[in-house]
Structure 1
């Protein structure tokens, strides 16, 4: 009823060259936002090809070539197919639809041509296009008006069974509107794979423009005291993340810190003359000298303190060497973390 109403309203200007468009929007949360453009039958009427090119030449448009089953034997001369090959020579965004199979059920020649297309055995120009078969639209709509909640699903299932009984030798995966939905989904995925690198490249370019603009705005902020503090704090956070990454994961020179404490430092400690220092005769000598040769003392604290001080003096040089090693490693890590902090590259004073 809606279609007939719109046709009646536009019948006065219907000359085959009218470019007036009819928009019908359907919104759903379970499907992507797609636009369907239904052009008049190209094989039945004269139509301005410039109007066709306005839609067909778009790279993101999927072309649906609809051919009635009765015309399948002459598919090679189809104007719709010719135009589709003109705008999509590789067939990467074209789907062939053979409609009204039920109306050609008694025409063996037409059915043979349809099955050849579905088996990818048709004319050469049809070989790289996926084909699906449908029954008449009016029949499908009528079967869907049963009033039940699953009427559409029931209609599609009935359509599939009808097609299976007519096209007995055709692949079942190419029969019915479910097959059409699958074919559309595959073509859309193919187009997304083709377009995605270009889209990502464009986004990266825009991202760089935005980053450059933010840098420009950031440099303007630094002219004020508040801006300087804000930038400094942000850079400190960025630098801290990079620095801790080196320390905690051992990335870069971070492993050298652990090597200093677990390798070089213990080895130097082991080389100290600790055994000689704690020899009983040496201990007696140190205690006697520290307490002024007073053997009657019960607790020679001065001697013990002197003994411990001597050990610490022995360990001072290995400890100093370990500190120097770690200091040099930390300087390298700070330099590497600063170079890996993008913000510091834009503000050399902060980096220094």
Structure 2
């Protein structure tokens, strides 16, 4: 998420004397154990990866072709292997802003996810140079999803459904490993072809084991789930759950269908669009949709009401998207215009 990194720590196994979910910050003992096992596996992988780092300057091994992306914490380059000519993507993180542990963590999370068609494949090559840490992944050459989303329009419905299905599958895979992605947004979704048929999730610097305690640092953004904006259930923070990713996926699907955010912040006192959504959702009356939702079809309403439930335990899982594929998610233009005109006439 944008802003400073939240303070984080794992939930301790002894956090609840009576073993209740409330004592564990809302997690069951089984959920807590899954997150702890994921954290231990990552620690083991990081220890091994630290011993196998290649110590060399990047330009000795690879020829830079062109930049692929630039972020706050590093850059991604298209490179070729100097001897074999193999094209690769190289993520480079400068040492002044990246610790060895932070680099190893992101590197090993990518490796731990293995091969999934909607996740950028990580190669087991980490490089330490004089001024940076780097690792290699498969190259994805058509930029990120934000460049394909037309403002106030979104994507064509078939493309939106393809993207949503692939991202839901990637998140399910991450959750099955005991991890929570935590940074779903169009800038972290890479596009494999000009028609936006295939996408891949990238950038795992914010991914954490389930149950890691986090506090929100800085103001919330549209993708921030409302439970992160509330006082945490434990003094150290909120134990994170896959429901955080379900919320972000719901916001992203809305953006794919409309080309804008449903709200700026999920706070009733700060954002009237969010307040209108909650009133509409509680009413159970799809026909009384607020203005930002005019262009969506009933199937999209139902899908998004589930993914954007303000109560994380009631929120639909990311895999719920599969039950809505092939159904209309957008109103026909004329229907949307009539809905908008009717709302204006009723004002």
TM bracket, shorter-chain basis: under 0.3
Higher strand proportion (structure 1 or 2): 2
Higher helix proportion (structure 1 or 2): 1
Higher relative contact order (CA 8 A, sep 6+): 2
TM-score (norm 1): 0.21
